[in-house]
Structure 1
Amino acid sequence: MIKHKSLQHVFVDSFPSSLEPGKLYVSVEYGSVAHGCCCGCGEEIVTPLTPTDWHIVYDGETITLHPSVGNWTLACRSHYIIRKGEVIEAPAWSDQQVAAERRRDGRAKAAYFGTTQAASPSIASTAVTPERDAPQYLLSGNIGWKARIRRFWTKIFR
């Protein structure tokens, strides 16, 4: 069950130590989006913005996060879509569907990054840290936020 039906986006350099419910924090600096789980369980959700993970669409007023957010490693197992700031509850996935998606994700990462490993590590065992996981083209140089956004989108859509 979804408790938060909409999320107000906030562009930040880095995430606050405590995420306010109902807010979608976007850090272009670290190529990530964070929010409190929309079911209201209190868990913090971080989605990395990479060519093989999530991406956002900012239309000047709202944020869409794609693909859906599936919290399979959490007790709530919530699944939802964030479209134009609105939260849309999505159907639950079976363990078999989750496993198939993880295999697909591992293959996509291996193909994109040119590695031989086709298996993706479990999200639960992987801590996302900006220093390690932010795309280098977002961290390089002392440039303004507009230039970082332009560089980010150029890398994503070329």
Structure 2
Amino acid sequence: MIRHKRLEHRFVDHIPERLGAGVLYLSMEYATSAHSCCCGCGEEVVTPFTPTDWKMTFDGETISLHPSIGNWTLKCRSHYLIDRGKVVEAGPWSDEQVESERSRDRAAKARFYGQSPTVEPSAQPAPPKATPGFWRRLWSHISGRF
């Protein structure tokens, strides 16, 4: 259930240690925003602005954040949109939906940053042993004779 139906925005240099309820703090220097969870649980919600995370739109009067904010790691598991300062409750997601979105997000980051998707260390094959080049093998052979 969403307790805060609107968020007042404040542009700040630094996100304050204590977040006021119903306030969306935006730091352009750090390309991030933070607010107290809109369900009223009091947990801090941070949304970084990056090409693969959230986008912020300021129309001169109101703020919108896209995509939605899914607080899946919080006890409340709230899910909502911030659209022109209004908080719009979105439906709950199953654990499978959350994991699917996390996988999609990892793949998007890997594509954007030019990396292969992260693989658990135990699942990574051992790197092949480098075969010494011709000249190193020849030198080893010659130097081993003397």
Which protein is bigger by CA-based radius of gyration?
A: 2
Partner secondary structure for residue 13 of structure 1: coil
1:90 maps to what in 2? 90
- Give identity over the alignment, percent: 61
Per-residue displacement from partner, 1:4-41 (whole Å, max 9, x unpaired)? 00000000011011000000000000010100000000
Partner secondary structure for residue 116 of structure 1: coil
Partner secondary structure for residue 104 of structure 2: helix
Partner secondary structure for residue 97 of structure 1: helix
Count of residues in correspondence between the two structures: 119
Distance, in Å, in 2 between the alignment partners of 1:43 and 1:112 is 30
Distance, in Å, in 1 between the alignment partners of 2:106 and 2:20 is 32
Structure 1 stretches of 4+ moved >6 Å = none
One-letter amino acid of the counterpart of residue 93, structure 2: W
Distance, in Å, in 2 between the alignment partners of 1:37 and 1:102 is 20
2:21 maps to what in 1? 21
1:63 aligns with 2:63: yes
1:1-158 residue pairs with structure 2 within 5 A? Answer: 1-118=1-118
- Give, in angstroms, the shift of residue 118 of structure 1: 4.2
Per-residue displacement from partner, 1:19-75 (whole Å, max 9, x unpaired)? 000000000000101000000000000000000000111000000000000000010
Relative contact order higher in (CA < 8 Å, ≥ 6 apart): 1
Segments of structure 1 that go 5 or more residues without pairing to the other structure are 120-158
TM-score where L is the length of structure 1: 0.74
Asked if the contact 1:103–1:118 (Cα under 8 Å) also holds between the matched residues in 2, the reply is: no
